[in-house]
């Protein structure tokens, strides 16, 4: 059997980014939630916010650590496996990635230490500021990485000289046509993913009956936010789809499995796309709806794949099904959120154990939608790395052999299969312990100085000092 | 590819990237070194202290690695496109090792009293990541087989006797930095322990640096001419002399009870001199024997666009990074950190 370095490199990229994307999908929203909880505690002084914040900070620190180490892998993938892509596009995308590092990563990293460990070392406002800075860092990071990704989808502001891209207009590059939609759609999706995790944990705390105040507060806040975000996300997604139809028509055709241009266009709810014969099997079509949704008019035409050369077709089956999973999960979320908010009136929600149980199961929904959406947009971009301009096949490092990449892929698979389940276990253990009964008085030292003089601790005594802390007391 | 604009940005980008990589080597150097030394700690309490001495700052330190990688990509993309695939396996090992080492901070403290797989992951992860970086350094000095803008050799070319020696060199070097950090952050018995490990690392580093310094000019005629032709031999003589003085200062600081900052500062000094030595040997090449900094540079417009933000952001970054170090200043306390 011969190993194809191109195919294996693609699989490797899929593997490392699919796992990695789960972490920002969680931490971007969670950083904002923590900043909100810190802010509420700072402003209202209510202890429940302090316990909620401290609880989620612990979970955040695990997820963020995993996000950092799996994220460092990413820029190196460009060099190790995609060196021809890197040399061709460096003039355009490298500053965007560099700005992500300069603006976002350093901000997050520097303030994260204070957020995690500094509560007893800095005044309360400084701790709140640290939470805000970490949240801002995650959003800046999203901005730049999605600008980079969007430029690969809808390149703009460039010229090509000797097979390499050169910048002509930086504003056009950064704010390329699909960027505003992708940024809003993705960040909104990340917030929703986090909110469903918080909802799930909150529901569990209420049902368990041990930390009811914290659980109720988590539910009340996130369900309110979701009531806004989920419908908003559907509107943004619709706008994003119009943008795709305009700038990446072949992708839209693949998402909807439209083989021929038809006016008006039906909407295929379900089918088994048959790429070899360019047709759909077992299709359930609704007439006119395709035109209505995809062009916002009853007569609009959606370009079919037969308008494009065969060697420029995306692998239809991936965007087609991934998109349907994403939309299906989105509608399920909408139903859940509407039902939960109706039940909240009069506090019925907190007594309905069956419904709470259902909410507990909702934690993975956001992640499924994020992964499905990402598969839709990235496989829909194929066979290009830079849409319409640079083929994936011409992007891979020429020096790599099949076994080189097979070894590295096996290494990444093994490592992630150890790390991610372990991280999940650690986080679920924190959840099971619940928000511990600590009060902010113990933790806050207003002067920013240690309470006790720092004394020399021989090894034996340090153990004695460390013990009470390990059993869960406040530092 | 020769800049057409009115301003030549290459020297300033060389300086920025050089500083960025040096910050990485210095900062992640000491915390990778602390990770290696962690393997020598005897009991749970000292392991907790050692790990907590870097827990609040390791993440920031590792961010400089991203900056180094992306900075090379941004300022000298042709070098990035040749060097990174050429060191495919060392990069792979480094990244995997950094993953295990990084998550160990979080995972270990759920079961701190026992020496679990995460303890080993932290120590061996730090060791392997360092060794892999040393191999990258050795392979970089030796140069790569290229055709146009692509690396054409095999992914195993980078494993040579020379690169294995530079790998060892970096392991001892980071251990020395790590020991200096621990002397700074520890007291009493723990500090004595760090001094002992520091002396051990120093001897290793001294031997390895001597071997590399003799081997490099023998191996590479360009580098030999750079250092030993007249008048260079006279002009460059301060480099080995200052290095020798710093080495003496390091050794005596490690042996003097009262010198708390000395071991760390002198170790940084030794890294500065080694770094300078490599820069002098290779200047002005970024892909040795093949591409100069100017030939490998990105478009002037790219360099200008990134420079505007960088000149503003770097001082800000240094400021708040400094602040976070300031918050966690002084001796490490058992009650701050993971538990």
pLDDT digits (tens, 9 = 90+) for B148-165: 888 888 889 889 999 999
Q: What pLDDT sits at residue A440?
A: 45
Which ranges of B39-160 does DSSP label H, i.e. alpha helix? 44-52, 58-75, 77-86, 88-108, 117-142
Residue A465 is predicted with a pLDDT of 34
Q: Say which range, A91-105, A218-232, B113-127, B273-287, has the weakest mean pLDDT.
A: B113-127
Residues 259-298 of B with CB under 8 A from A: 298
Measured CA to CA, the distance from residue A468 to residue A366 in angstroms comes to: 38
Least confident of A71-75, A330-334, A350-354: A350-354
How far is Cα A218 from Cα A435, in angstroms, rounded to an integer? 12
Q: How confident is the model at residue A379 (pLDDT cuts 50, 70, 90)?
A: very high
Task: State mean pLDDT over B309-321.
Answer: 87
Nearest beta carbon to residue B103 from set A66, A459, A469: A66
Give per-residue pLDDT as tens, A279-331.
888 888 888 777 878 888 888 788 888 888 988 899 999 999 999 999 999 99
Virtual torsion, Cα B271, B275, B280, B281, nearest 10 deg? 110
Averaged pLDDT for residues A455-464? 36
- pLDDT higher than threshold 50 for residue A448: no
pLDDT, tens digit, 9 for 90 and up, residues B92-116: 999 999 999 988 888 887 666 666 7
Q: What percent of chain B has pLDDT over 70?
A: 94
Cβ B37 vs Cβ B197: under 8 Å? yes
> In chain A, what residues touch B110 (CB-CB under 8 Å)?
426, 429
- Per the prediction, chain A carries an average pLDDT of 86
What pLDDT score was predicted for residue A443?
A: 43
What whole-number distance in Å separates Cα of residue A131 and Cα of residue A30? 11
| Interface touch A106/B317, C-beta < 8 Å | yes
At residue A286, φ and ψ (nearest 5 deg) are -115, 120
Spell out the SS3 assignment of A87-107: HHHHHHHHHHHHHHHHHHHHH
pLDDT for the residue numbered B17: 92
Residues 6+ apart with CB under 8 A from B38: B47, B50, B51, B119, B122, B123, B126
| Domain range list for chain B | 10-327
- Return the domain boundaries, chain A: 5-235+320-447
Q: For residues B6-31, give the mean pLDDT.
A: 90
Does position A450 have pLDDT exceeding 50, yes or no?
Answer: no
ipTM score: 0.88
Q: Is the dihedral of CA A46, A47, A52, A53 positive or negative?
A: positive
Per-residue pLDDT tens over the stretch A399-429: 888 899 999 999 999 999 999 998 998 898 8
Tell me the C-alpha distance between A270 and B74, whole Å: 45
Q: Which chain A residue lies closest to B187 (C-alpha atoms)?
A: A456
* DSSP letter (8 states) at residue A262: B
List of residues 6+ apart from B221 with CB closer than 8 A: none
Q: Which architecture, in CATH terms, is B10-327?
A: Up-down Bundle (1.20)
Confidence of residue B5 (pLDDT cuts 50, 70, 90): low
Q: What is the predicted pLDDT for the residue at A292?
A: 79
Structure-token match 């939630």, residue found: A33
Kindly tell me if the per-residue pLDDT of A473 is higher than 80. Answer: no
Question: How many angstroms separate the CA atoms of A311 and A300, rounded?
Answer: 26
Query: Which B-chain residues 297-316 have CB contacts (< 8 A) with chain A?
Result: 298-299, 301-302, 305-306, 309-310, 313-314
Q: A16-38 pLDDT, tens per residue?
A: 999 999 999 999 999 999 999 99
**Do the chains contact at A121 and B328, CB–CB below 8 Å?**
yes
Contacting residues for A442 by C-beta, under 8 A, at least 6 apart = A474, A475
Two structure tokens written together for B173: 């070097």
- What stretch of H or E contains A296? none
∠B107-B111-B112 over CA atoms, to 5°? 95
What value does the mean pLDDT take over residues A382-396?
Answer: 91
> What angle (nearest 5°) sits at the alpha carbon of residue A349, between those of residues A343 and A352?
115
Judged by a CB distance cut-off of 8 A, whether residue B44 touches chain A is yes
């Amino acid at each position: 059997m011969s190993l194809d370095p191109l195919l294996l490199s693609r699989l490797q990229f899929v593997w490392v980014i699919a796992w990695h994307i789960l972490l920002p999908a969680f931490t971007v929203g969670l950083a904002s939630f923590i900043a909100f909880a810190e802010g509420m505690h700072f402003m209202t002084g209510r202890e429940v916010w302090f316990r909620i914040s401290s609880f989620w900070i612990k979970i955040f620190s695990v997820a963020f650590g995993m996000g950092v180490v799996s994220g460092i892998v990413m820029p190196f993938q460009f060099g190790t496996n995609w060196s021809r892509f890197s040399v061709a596009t460096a003039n355009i995308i490298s500053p965007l990635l560099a700005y992500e590092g300069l603006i976002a990563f350093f901000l997050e990293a520097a303030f994260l230490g204070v957020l995690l460990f500094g509560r007893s070392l800095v005044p309360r406002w400084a701790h709140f500021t640290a939470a805000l800075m970490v949240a801002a860092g995650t959003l800046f990071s999203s901005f730049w990485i999605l600008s980079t990704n969007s430029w690969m989808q809808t390149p703009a502001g460039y010229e090509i000289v000797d097979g390499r891209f050169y910048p002509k207009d930086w504003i056009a590059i950064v704010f390329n046509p699909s960027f505003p939609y992708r940024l809003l759609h993705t960040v909104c999706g990340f917030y929703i993913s986090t909110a469903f995790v918080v909802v799930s944990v909150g529901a569990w705390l209420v049902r368990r009956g041990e930390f009811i105040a914290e659980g109720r507060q988590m539910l009340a806040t996130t369900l309110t936010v979701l009531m806004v975000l989920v419908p908003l996300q559907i509107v943004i997604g619709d706008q994003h789809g119009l943008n795709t139809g305009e700038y990446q028509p072949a992708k839209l055709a693949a998402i909807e499995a439209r083989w021929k241009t038809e006016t008006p266009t039906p909407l295929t709810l379900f089918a088994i796309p048959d790429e070899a014969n360019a047709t759909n099997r077992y299709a359930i079509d609704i007439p006119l709806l395709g035109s209505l949704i995809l062009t916002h008019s009853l007569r609009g035409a959606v370009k079919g794949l037969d308008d494009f050369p065969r060697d420029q077709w995306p692998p239809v089956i991936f965007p087609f099904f991934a998109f349907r999973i994403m939309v299906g999960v989105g509608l399920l979320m909408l139903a859940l959120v509407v039902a939960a908010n109706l039940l909240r009136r009069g506090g019925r929600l907190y007594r309905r154990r069956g419904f709470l149980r259902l909410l507990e199961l909702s934690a993975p929904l956001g992640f499924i939608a994020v992964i499905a959406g990402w598969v839709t947009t990235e496989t829909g971009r194929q066979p290009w790395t830079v849409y319409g301009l640079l083929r994936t096949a011409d992007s891979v490092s020429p020096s790599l052999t099949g076994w080189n990449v097979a070894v590295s892929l096996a290494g990444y698979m093994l490592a992630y299969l150890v790390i991610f389940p372990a991280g999940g276990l650690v986080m679920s253990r924190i959840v099971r312990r619940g928000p511990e009964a600590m009060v902010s008085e113990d933790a806050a030292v207003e002067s920013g100085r240690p309470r006790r003089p720092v004394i020399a601790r021989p090894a034996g005594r340090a153990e004695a000092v460390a013990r009470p802390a390990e059993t869960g007391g406040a530092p | 590819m020769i800049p057409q604009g009115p301003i030549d940005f290459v020297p300033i980008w060389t300086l920025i990237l050089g500083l960025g990589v040096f910050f990485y080597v210095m900062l992640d150097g000491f915390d990778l070194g602390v990770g290696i030394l962690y393997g020598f700690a005897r009991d749970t309490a000292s392991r907790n202290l050692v790990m907590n001495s870097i827990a609040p700052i390791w993440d920031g330190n590792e961010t400089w690695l991203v900056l180094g990688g992306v900075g090379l990509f941004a300022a000298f993309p042709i070098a990035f496109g040749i060097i990174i695939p050429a060191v495919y396996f060392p990069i792979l090992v480094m990244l995997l090792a950094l993953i295990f080492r990084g998550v160990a901070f979080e995972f270990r403290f759920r079961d701190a009293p026992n020496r679990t797989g995460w303890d080993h992951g932290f120590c061996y992860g730090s060791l392997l990541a360092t060794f892999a970086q040393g191999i990258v350094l050795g392979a970089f000095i030796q140069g790569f087989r290229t055709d146009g803008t692509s690396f054409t050799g095999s992914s195993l070319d980078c494993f040579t006797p020379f690169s294995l020696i530079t790998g060892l060199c970096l392991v001892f070097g980071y251990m020395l930095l790590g020991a200096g950090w621990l002397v700074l952050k520890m007291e009493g018995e723990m500090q004595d322990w760090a001094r002992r490990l520091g002396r051990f690392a120093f001897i290793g580093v001294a031997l390895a640096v001597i071997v590399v310094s003799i081997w490099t000019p023998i191996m590479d005629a360009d580098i030999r001419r750079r250092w030993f032709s007249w008048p260079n031999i006279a002009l460059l003589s301060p480099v080995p002399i200052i290095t020798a003085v710093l080495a003496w200062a390091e050794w005596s600081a490690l042996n003097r009870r009262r010198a708390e900052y000395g071991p760390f500062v002198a170790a940084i000094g030794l890294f500065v001199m080694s770094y300078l030595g490599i820069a002098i040997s290779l200047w002005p090449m970024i892909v040795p024997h093949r591409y100069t900094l100017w030939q490998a540079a990105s478009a002037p417009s790219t360099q200008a666009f990134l420079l505007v933000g960088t000149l503003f952001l770097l001082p800000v970054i240094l400021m708040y990074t400094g602040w976070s170090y300031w918050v966690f200043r002084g001796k490490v306390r058992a009650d701050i950190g993971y538990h």
